[in-house]
């Protein structure tokens, strides 16, 4: 089921959130959540490289150590805290770590953005996000989506599933990153091309001293192959339906080409062009062959 909870943001707009989130939760985030100096927030639309960036950040802020808890316990999902996951909302107020980190799929206007915290937004080609989101929604026990790909595609393109329009989500975070030096905008595709370059960029952004050996270690532990074998980094804590392929499914660029019909691609292109007209975002995701 992908029926979202409709809430009104501080900007007066309607937002589509997971069904367990309420208007009161949004108000708590806006008014009571104490953002600490040096807090790190990883923001993404669903299935855009969240777990991957969590792994990079966890190793960077933890001296290269994985730690003894899985990634979503170490860097909890803000929305999930409101459903009692990962220690619940007490985690928002805890001050027991030298440097706190969270991950979120919230739109820019629903997350408290403080000048003394750091925000990393990971963007991914929305076509590949569509495919990954479809398999995620189908395989995850908590969602257990039973619709067809065509039905899912329509809901995703119209922005009626959880977290609404992928185009708006990406555009708002991108615009914010253009105006604030504490928001780093990176792409999944750049991480695929050179994880080392992006890891160094993130380390610099978080003001973490690093030498080549340290960065090499972080990169080696953050590859798809290494993470797939690591029970603290592979999403195995997420309950999947029987015979599901697991959380880290393929991790490739261009998988949309095996799923989109020509008609779907034309509709998608038209919607994306309209949403991002006049911005640099249209040039960001070339429809490259899978890598």
CA pair distance 109, 111, nearest whole angstrom? 6
Give alpha helix (H) positions in the chain. 23-31, 50-61, 71-74, 78-81, 90-93, 126-139, 149-158, 166-179, 188-193, 195-205, 212-221, 224-228, 262-275
What span, in angstroms and rounded, lies between the C-alpha atoms of 80 and 121?
19
What secondary structure letter does DSSP report for 223? S
Q: Which of 70, 103, 105, 169 is the catalytic position?
A: 105
Cβ 107 vs Cβ 164: under 8 Å:
yes
- 123 CA to centre of own chain: 8
Query: Does the annotation count 210 as an active-site position?
Result: no
Show which residues are catalytic. 105
């Amino acid at each position: 089921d992908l029926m979202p909870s409709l809430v009104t943001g501080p900007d007066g707009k309607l937002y589509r959130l997971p069904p367990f989130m309420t208007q009161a939760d949004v108000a708590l985030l806006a008014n009571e959540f104490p953002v600490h100096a040096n807090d790190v927030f990883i923001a993404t639309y669903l299935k855009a490289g969240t777990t991957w960036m969590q792994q990079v950040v966890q190793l960077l802020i933890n001296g290269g150590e994985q730690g003894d808890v899985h990634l979503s316990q170490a860097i909890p999902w803000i929305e999930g805290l409101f459903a009692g996951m990962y220690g619940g909302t007490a985690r928002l107020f805890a001050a027991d770590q030298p440097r706190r980190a969270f991950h979120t799929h919230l739109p820019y206007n629903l997350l408290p953005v403080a000048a003394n915290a750091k925000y990393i937004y990971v963007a991914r080609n929305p076509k590949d996000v569509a495919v990954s989101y479809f398999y995620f929604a189908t395989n995850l026990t908590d969602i257990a989506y039973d619709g067809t790909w065509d039905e899912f595609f329509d809901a995703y393109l119209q922005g009626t599933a959880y977290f609404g329009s992928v185009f708006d989500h990406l555009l708002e975070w991108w615009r914010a990153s253009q105006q604030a030096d504490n928001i780093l905008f990176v792409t999944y595709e750049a991480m695929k091309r050179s994880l080392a370059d992006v890891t160094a960029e993130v380390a610099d952004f978080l003001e973490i001293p690093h030498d080549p050996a340290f960065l090499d270690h972080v990169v080696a532990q953050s590859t798809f192959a290494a993470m797939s074998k690591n029970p603290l980094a592979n999403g195995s804590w997420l309950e999947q339906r029987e015979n599901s392929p697991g959380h880290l499914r393929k991790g490739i660029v261009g998988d949309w080409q095996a799923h989109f019909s020509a008609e779907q691609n034309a509709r998608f292109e038209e919607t994306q062009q309209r949403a991002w007209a006049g911005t640099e975002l249209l040039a960001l995701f070339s429809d490259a062959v899978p890598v």
